[in-house]
Amino acid sequence: MDNATFRDFGKAAIDFVADYMENIRDCDVLPSVKPGYLFDLLPNELPEKPENWQDILKDINRVIKPGITHWQSPNMHAYYPTACSFPSIVGDMISSGFSVIGFSWICSPACTELEVVVMDWLAKFLKLPQHFLHSSEGPGGGIIQGTASEAVLVAMLSAREQTVRRMMQTHPELSESDIRGKLVAYSSDQSNSCIERDALLAAVPIRLLSTGDDLVLTGDILEQAINEDIANGFIPIICIATVGTTGTCAFDDLPSLGKVCNERGIWLHVDAAYAGAALALEEYKELRNGFELVDSLNFNLHKFLLVHFDCSAMWLKDANKVVDSFNVDRIYLKHKFEGQTQIPDFRHWQIPLGRRFRALKVWITLRTYGAEGLKAHIRKHITLAQRFEKYVLADSRFELITERTLGLVCFRPKGSNKYTTDLLNCLVERKKIYLIQATYRDKNFLRFVVCGMDPKPEDIDFAWREIRDQYSMLINEEKLLTLGKTDMGAIVKQLSTDIKISANKDKEKVK
C-alpha cells in the first residue's frame, strides 16, 4: 500500500467511523449473532493474493459490525463507561503512525517527556497531593498504565518485593522462601475482580474483608484482620482500597485505612478506576480526604475522561520502590543521557518492557476539551443519572438499593429476585438497552450506568420507557398465568391502558 492508497483508505476509514458514531442509535446495543458466527463467514486460511481495501472495508460492515456490542451507544448502561472521543481517536491514529516503542528516553524523548507533562496536568486537575507530581521535590510521579489491573499488579508486586527485602534484613533467621510463604494482602469483598486475579498472579494470598451494610471498608475492619494474621505468623504487605466499587460505587474510608497502613508499614493502594475523575469537582472534594496517606493510586481515563481504552493513570508516592523492584539493566538499554537528568525510564515502572505512545492521545484530548469541558462532561453524566433516578422514584413498583452515586443508579422491581432476573432477561433479549445485575444483601438489583460517547436526556427517557413497558408486560403475563384468564383481547387492552397510565404518571411526577 503506497502513500496515495493509504490516503484514500484512511479517509474512507475516517468517514466510516464518523458515520458509525453518527448513526449508532440505530443499532441494537447487543448483537444478534451466536457463538462461532464469524468462523462460517471467513476463509480458513489467509488469502494468497492481496485484496483491495474497498473489499476489506465492505467486509467490516458485512461480517465485523454485526458482531459488535456497541459500547459507545447511549443505550449501553452496563458495567461502567468506556470513554471515547474524536480527539482521542485522532491522537491514537497519529501515535500509530509514529509507531514508537518508548521503553527508554532515547527511544523517543517526546514519548517519555509528554507523559511526564500530562500526568502532572492530570494530578493538578484532580487536586492530588503535591508528592504525586513529577515536578515536586521527592521521588513521586505518574505513569500511564494500560489498565487498572496492571496498575494494581504493579503496586502489589512492588509491595511484595519491598516487604521481602525489609524482612530479610530485620529477620535474618528467616529464609526468603519462609518470608514469601507468609505474605498476605487485603481488600474489600466489594472490590473489583481484577484485584483477586492480581493476587493470584503475584502469588500472594488475599483476604477479601467483609464490609458492613454501607459496603465500606474501614480501618477498624482492616486492623482486626491484620492483628489476626500477625498473631498467626503472617506478614501483611498491602491493602487495596476502592473509591467507587464495581457493584454500587461505594467509597472505602481512606483516612482510617491510611492511618492503619501508615502505622503498620503496609502499602496502601487506591483503585479509583471509575470515580477518580470526580476528584476534579469541588462538589465532591470530600473524596480527596485521605489521599495524602496512600502510596499509589489509579484511575481510568478510559472510563470517564473521554480518552479511549487502554489508558489508566497511576501515581506513586515513591517511584523508587517500584524501580528497585523491577529494574533489570542490559547494555543495549543504556544511553549517554542515562543518569544525567531526572527524566524517568518508564520501563522500570510497569509490567512490560515496551510501551505505546499513549500520552499523545491524552494530550490531544485534554487540550481539545480543556479542564472546563472535562468537568462539564462528568457533570453531564451525573445529571443524566439524576434524571433516571427520578423516574425510578416516581414508579411505586421499583425501589433504589443504594443512593445514586455519580452516574450509577442501583434499582430493582420490588418483590422477589425473580422479578429482577426476568426483567433483565427480557431487556437483554430485546437488545434495545443493555444492563447487568448485581447483588446486595441477598437482593438482586440492576445497575444503570450512563455510558456512550454522547448521551442525551432523550436517551435516558428511552431507556426508562423500555424498562417500564417491559416490566408492565411481565406483570400482566404473570397475572394471566395466575388468574388463568383466556381472554387475550382483554389482557392486551388492559396492558395498553396500564402503559398509558404509567407513562402519564411518570411525566407528572418527574415534572
Tell me the whole-structure pTM to 2 decimals.
0.89
Residues 6+ apart with CB under 8 A from 84: 71, 72, 306, 308, 453
Contact 139, 319 (CB under 8 A): yes
Strands (E), 218-371: 235-242, 267-271, 296-300, 312-316
Residue 139 pLDDT grade (very low, low, confident, very high; cuts 50, 70, 90): very high
Which 3-state string (H, E, C) describes 177-212? HHHHCCEEEEEECCCCHHHHHHHHHCCCCEEEECCC
| pLDDT above 80: residue 291 | yes
Asked if residue 56 is part of any domain, the answer here is no
What domain range includes position 282?
Answer: 100-356
The total of structural domains in the chain comes to 1
Q: For residue range 216-270, what is the model confidence (pLDDT) as tens digits?
A: 999 999 999 999 999 999 999 999 999 999 999 999 999 999 999 999 999 999 9
Residue 336 pLDDT grade (very low, low, confident, very high; cuts 50, 70, 90): low
Asked if residue 18 is part of any domain, the answer here is no
Asked if residue 371 is part of any domain, the answer here is no
Of 79, 45, 60, the C-alpha closest to 452 is 79
Q: For residue range 364-386, what is the model confidence (pLDDT) as tens digits?
A: 999 999 999 999 999 999 999 99
Contact 20, 454 (CB under 8 A): no
In this structure, what C-alpha cell is assigned to residue 441?
A: 444483601
Task: Calculate what percentage of the chain has a pLDDT beyond 70.
Answer: 92
Residues with catalytic function = 192
Q: For residue range 40-67, what is the model confidence (pLDDT) as tens digits?
A: 999 999 999 999 999 999 999 999 999 9
Here the CATH number for the domain that contains residue 287 is 3.40.640.10
* pLDDT attached to residue 502: 64
- Mean pLDDT over residues 324-331, rounded? 73
* pLDDT attached to residue 340: 61
Asked if residue 388 is part of any domain, the answer here is no
Asked if residue 123 is part of any domain, the answer here is yes
* pLDDT attached to residue 506: 61
Q: Which amino acid is at 390?
A: K
| pLDDT above 70: residue 494 | no
In this structure, what C-alpha cell is assigned to residue 22?
A: 453518527
Q: For residue range 120-132, what is the model confidence (pLDDT) as tens digits?
A: 999 999 999 999 9
In this structure, what C-alpha cell is assigned to residue 288?
A: 480527596
Asked if residue 477 is part of any domain, the answer here is no
Contact 417, 444 (CB under 8 A): yes
* pLDDT attached to residue 127: 96
Point out which residues pair with 448 in neighbouring strands: 409
Asked if residue 273 is part of any domain, the answer here is yes
Asked if residue 180 is part of any domain, the answer here is yes
In the predicted model, what is the mean pLDDT of the chain? Answer: 91
Residues 6+ apart with CB under 8 A from 240: 152, 155, 156, 185, 186, 187, 191, 195, 269, 270, 271
Count of helix runs (H) and strand runs (E) in the chain? 15, 11
* pLDDT attached to residue 339: 65
Q: For residue range 402-430, what is the model confidence (pLDDT) as tens digits?
A: 999 999 999 999 999 999 999 999 999 99
